Amino acid sequence: MWRTLALASAFFPGLFILCIRLLRWAAPGWSLKDRILLSGRLVSTVQATMATVSGITVVLSCKNVVHDRHWLAVEYIWVLVPYMTYDIYVMYLCHWHKSQEKGILEKKHSLASVWSFLLQERLMVTHHLFILIVLTPITQHFRGELGDFFVGCIFTAELSTPFVSLGKILMQVGEEGQDLGLGSPQQFIPFPWLHQLLSRQWLSWGGVLERGNPTVVAQISPAVLPSSQ
């Protein structure tokens, strides 16, 4: 636990700083705000890929969706905790630099700038705090030794993030994607909806594999993954 927390606490900020410095060398004409935005998206993509791979590994390893265990279902939570904390601060940096460009001259780290950030990004901040304050104790303590499969399914919710981030990155650097053979950024927008659909089927499939209670996951999957409409 403590080693994972320490490594993740160093890894994500370190990767963020490294990306900013590399972009300063690769794109010297970019502003600090642009470098921070792109670096944040790159780190987000890395974390989302790690979470997705961990989730798929856990899901495929748990034949019994209630009782089977996998170490990643516990250990990767301690990667998410420092990442969510880091990401809140990076969101604040992005907000502050955007405010400066708009002519809102608030002192960095001032109460006014923090309050403005919390008001504008209240949904994302609430999402991150919910994971830290509510989901972390549930997944690490209150569920006991049950349900690693479902924790893996929660991890796979990050599957769409790299594609969404890629679209934003392409738009930020002014690339339409055709030159790279990736298509336009708009082509990646439907992917989160497709991911939700596939995740519903995955959860239902897991319930069928659970012989003792073949409908348990199929019944709760609509509550876990709300409709995209």
Convert the pLDDT of each residue in 107-164 to its tens digit.
Answer: 888 999 999 999 999 999 999 999 999 989 998 888 888 889 999 999 998 888 888 8
> Token pair for residue 92?
């604040």
Amino acid 174: pLDDT = 66
- How much is the mean pLDDT over the chain? 79
Alpha helical stretches, state H, the chain: 2-26, 32-61, 71-75, 77-101, 111-120, 122-130, 136-137, 148-155, 161-172, 191-209, 216-224
Residue 108's alpha-carbon distances to 40, 92, 112, 116, 147, in angstroms, are: 18, 10, 9, 12, 43
Is the per-residue pLDDT at 223 higher than 50? Answer: no
Taking each helix axis as running N to C, give the angle between helix 2-26 and helix 77-101, from 0 to 180 degrees, rounded to the nearest 10.
30
Place of tokens 């089977």: 68
pLDDT at position 27: 81
Residue 167: pLDDT above 80? no
Q: What is the DSSP letter of 174?
A: T
Q: Tell me, what's the pLDDT at 141?
A: 86
**What does residue 50 show for φ and ψ, rounded to 5 degrees?**
-60, -45
Q: What is the mean pLDDT of residues 184-193?
A: 47
DSSP classification of residue 161: H
Closest Cα to residue 207, out of 62, 73, 51, 57?
A: 62
Domain spans, the chain: 2-188
Burial state string for 16-31 with b = 16 or more CB within 10 A and e = fewer than 16: beebbeebeeeeeebe
Q: Which residue has the higher pLDDT, 99 or 199?
A: 99
The token pair at 211 is: 């012989």
Q: What's the pLDDT band for 58 if we cut at 50, 70, 90?
A: very high
Residue 191 has pLDDT above 90, yes or no: no
Establish how many alpha carbons lie within 13 A of residue 132's alpha carbon, considering only the half-sphere containing its beta carbon: 14
Kindly state the average pLDDT of the residues 78-94. Answer: 95
Q: How far from each other are the two terminal CA atoms of the chain, in whole angstroms?
A: 39
pLDDT at 72 over 50: yes
* Rounded Cα–Cα distance for residues 155 and 193 (Å): 16
Higher pLDDT, 191 or 42: 42
Q: What is the per-residue pLDDT for 159? A: 86
Per-residue pLDDT for 200 more than 70? no
155: exposed, middle or buried (Cβ count in 10 Å: 0-12, 13-18, 19+): buried
**Percent of residues, the chain, with pLDDT higher than 70:** 76
pLDDT band of residue 77 (cuts 50, 70, 90) is: very high
pLDDT, tens digit (0-9, with 9 covering 90-100), for 11-38: 999 999 999 999 998 888 888 988 999 9
Q: How confident is the model at residue 196, as a pLDDT? A: 52
